Amino acid sequence: MVDLIRGNPLALAVTNGTAENGPFATHLPVIFDPDAPDDGDAGHNRDAGSTGDGEGGGGLVGTTLLGHMNRANPHWTALQSGAVLLLTFTGPHSYVSPTVYEKTPAAPTWNFTAVHVRGVVEKITSIEETLGVVQSTVRAFEKGFGTGWDMNESLGYFRKIVPAVGAFRFTVTGAEGMFKLSQEQPGEVRERVRESFGQSECTYRRETAELMSRLP
């Protein structure tokens, strides 16, 4: 679950709205708080088939995450400190055609991976702390996805735009993982699905195959 969040950090944040307008939903980048005592490594070694619940949470309960969105977003105004927020992270996924099963009758399905994390929000009001969240996000993403870009020459620009940024801390109270990877199929069928995905030109399919190879 921790691996999936680190590898797919663009979360969908959802909060309850009014009965008239419905819920708010915003896609935003989320990282583990680098300054927190537990940054999520407690769950780092859980296998790909594991799921957490409201109590266990896959090693995530009590973990602090950091996120930010545009203050002009109505979601930011609606978001209140102390409120419950749902963050959903989507990992590798792909359609499974029955042709791969090599048996009849059969039904198509969709293999997918996802983590839903619930927690309590603390809105950050300090400009300096907000800037710190932005810098921490850059460091995390340059290390995981970038090319080592040095932000130092852009800090002046950061300070100009950071008043428009709404940053928050998020303390995890519960987490659930879903790793649907053809576990319901016999071993030989599951292996054919994995091989089919692994030979595909589609990145999502190859990543799904890699997760399937980690199943016990």
Residue 142 β-bridge partners? none
Contacts of 15 (CB under 8 A, 6+ apart): 23, 24, 75, 78, 79, 83, 84, 85, 86
pLDDT of amino acid 38:
56
**Predicted TM-score (pTM) of this structure:** 0.89
Give one DSSP letter per residue of 21-85, joined into a string. TEEEEEEEEEEE-TTSS--SGGGTT--TT----TTTGGGTTT-EEEEEEETTSHHHHH--TT-EE
Of the pLDDT bands very low, low, confident and very high (cuts 50, 70, 90), residue 57 is low
The model's pLDDT over 153-212, given as tens digits with 9 standing for 90+, comes to 999 999 999 999 999 999 999 999 999 999 999 999 999 999 999 999 999 999 999 999
pLDDT of amino acid 216:
77
Q: Is-contact 79 95, C-beta < 8 A?
A: no
The model's pLDDT over 73-108, given as tens digits with 9 standing for 90+, comes to 999 999 999 999 999 999 999 999 999 999 899 999
Tell me the average pLDDT across 110-121: 98
Helix (H, G, I), strand (E, B) or coil at 198: helix
Mean pLDDT of the chain, nearest integer = 91
